[in-house]
């Protein structure tokens, strides 16, 4: 069993870049061909040895709960036919994992969504997956790589990747001291900087391992950029004490929160994943 037992999925955001489809459908239910983004995230967590899935949802997000539940009528209809095989993976997930949910009532930012998840997470280190960042790897998944690092370092870890200067304004960007080829001890973090004020080109993507003191810090953190409670602001408190690592993961990430990234990931999966499992 993994030293990290819970994975939190903040999934309450409005997904405005995909309107109108996200008016009544969660962004996290958008499929890469035939499997929703959230399921890829859950599978990545399972591959890292995590079975307690905690979802922060919001209004209009009930489809997420239904996806991780039995659909009696449908399952009765296709029982004994070849179509049943299409449900093998999701049935396994439902058998092996537990799912708990809480709602973010007001969308006050990612930091606020994570703080809302405290009631599900409790006083343990935990993983965070933003399902709209879809990651593919050749060997161990990104969360598996990070859990292995956590076992060694026992502090908060953020996944990072290099981005071009014209993209820094979309991400939290770090400055750090290099400890190994792919590992930095974070010194500074800036949320969505312009290229001129970005401390580096190392951007935080949607995978974190957080120590539970982050909840107390979040409670004391004032709203930051865009009036939202920013997780990067809270992480800065830990970073000032040298307690945040940034890890350049092995693999490739698709930004499925943007239409371009979503189309790229769809094409990638159609070519590399979908055909291979049919
Ligand atoms: P995004 O910045 O992608 O925002 O959130 P969004 O609302 O989902 O999408 P756009 O920009 O309107 O198209 C990053 C992650 O944080 C979650 C989102 O669900 C997403 O996984 N989030 C964000 C929350 O859960 N609550 C919030 O208040 C904000």
Angle between helix 142-153 and helix 37-47 axes, rounded to 10 deg:
40
Q: What is the pLDDT of residue 277?
A: 60
Ligand 1 pocket member 117 (CB < 6 A): no
For tokens 């190994």, the residue is 180
CB of residue 112 inside a 6 A radius of ligand 1: yes
Hey, where are the domains in the chain?
6-277
Q: Is the CB of 243 under 6 A from ligand 1?
A: no
**For residues 142 and 252, is the Cβ–Cβ distance under 8 A?**
no
Residue 108 in contact with ligand 1 by CB distance below 6 A:
yes
Q: What's the gap in Å between 152 CA and the centre of ligand 1?
A: 31
Per-residue pLDDT of 142-180, as tens digits, reads 999 999 999 999 999 999 999 999 999 999 999 999 999
Token look-up 């750090």 returns: 176
Atom of ligand 1 nearest to the CA of 257: 3
d(CA 126, CA 50): 10
Counting from 1 in the atom list of ligand 1, the atom nearest the Cα of 14 is 7
pLDDT value of residue 92: 95
* CB neighbour class for 117 (10 Å; exposed up to 12, middle 13-18, buried from 19): buried
Chain segment 120-145, per-residue pLDDT in tens: 999 999 999 999 999 999 999 999 99
pLDDT of residue 24: 92
Classify strands 52-57 and 183-191 as parallel, antiparallel or unpaired.
unpaired
Q: What is the pTM of this model?
A: 0.95
- Indicate the helix (H) or strand (E) that contains 255: strand 252-255
HSE at residue 270, side-chain half, CA atoms within 13 A, is 9
The pLDDT assigned to 72 comes to: 87
> With contact defined as beta carbons under 8 Å apart, do 241 and 121 qualify?
no
Pocket lining: 125 vs ligand 1, CB cutoff 6 Å: no
Whose CA is closest to atom 16 on ligand 1? 110
CA distance 180 to 86: 43
Nearest CA to ligand 1 atom 25: 12
Ligand 1 within 6 A of 11 CB? yes
Q: Which residues of the chain have pLDDT under 50?
A: none
Whole-number Å distance, alpha carbon 12 to ligand 1 midpoint, is 6
> What is the number of helices (H) and of strands (E) in the chain?
11, 13
The pLDDT value recorded for residue 99 is 98
Q: Which CATH superfamily is domain 6-277 in?
A: Spore Coat Polysaccharide Biosynthesis Protein SpsA; Chain A (3.90.550.10)
| Closest alpha carbon to 256 in 70, 27, 101 | 27
Q: What is the pLDDT of residue 276?
A: 64
Query: From ligand 1's centre to the CA of 57, what distance in Å?
Result: 11
Q: How far apart are CA 161 and CA 64, in angstroms?
A: 28
Tokens of 22: 């996200």
Cβ 13 under 6 angstroms from ligand 1: yes
Q: How far apart are CA 270 and CA 120, in angstroms?
A: 35
Q: How many beta carbons lie within 10 A of that of residue 114, not counting itself?
A: 24
If DSSP codes are grouped into helix, strand and coil, which group holds residue 226? helix
């Amino acid at each position: 069993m993994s030293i990290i037992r819970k994975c939190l999925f903040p999934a309450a955001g409005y997904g405005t870049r995909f309107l109108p489809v996200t008016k009544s459908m969660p962004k996290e239910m958008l499929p890469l061909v035939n499997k929703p983004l959230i399921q890829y995230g859950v599978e990545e967590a399972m591959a890292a040895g995590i079975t307690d899935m905690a979802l922060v949802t919001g209004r209009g997000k009930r489809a997420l709960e239904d996806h991780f539940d039995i659909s009696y009528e449908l399952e009765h209809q296709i029982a004994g036919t070849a179509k049943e095989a299409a449900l093998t993976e999701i049935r396994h997930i439902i058998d092996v994992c537990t799912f708990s949910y809480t709602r973010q009532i007001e969308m006050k930012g990612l930091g606020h969504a994570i703080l809302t998840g405290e009631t599900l997470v409790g006083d343990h280190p935990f993983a965070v997956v933003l399902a709209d960042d879809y990651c593919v790897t050749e060997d161990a998944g990104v969360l598996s790589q990070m859990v292995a690092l956590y076992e060694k370092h026992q502090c908060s870890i953020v996944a990072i990747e290099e981005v071009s200067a014209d993209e820094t304004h979309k991400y939290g960007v770090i400055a750090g001291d290099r400890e190994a080829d792919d590992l930095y001890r974070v010194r500074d973090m800036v949320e969505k900087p312009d290229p001129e004020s970005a401390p580096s080109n190392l951007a935080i993507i949607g995978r974190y391992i957080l120590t539970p003191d982050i909840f107390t810090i979040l409670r004391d953190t004032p709203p930051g950029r865009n009036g939202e409670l920013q997780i990067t602001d809270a992480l800065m408190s830990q970073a000032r004490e040298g307690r945040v690592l940034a890890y350049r993961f092995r693999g490739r990430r698709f930004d499925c929160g943007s239409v371009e990234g979503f189309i790229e990931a769809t094409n990638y999966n159609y070519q590399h994943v979908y055909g291979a499992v049919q």
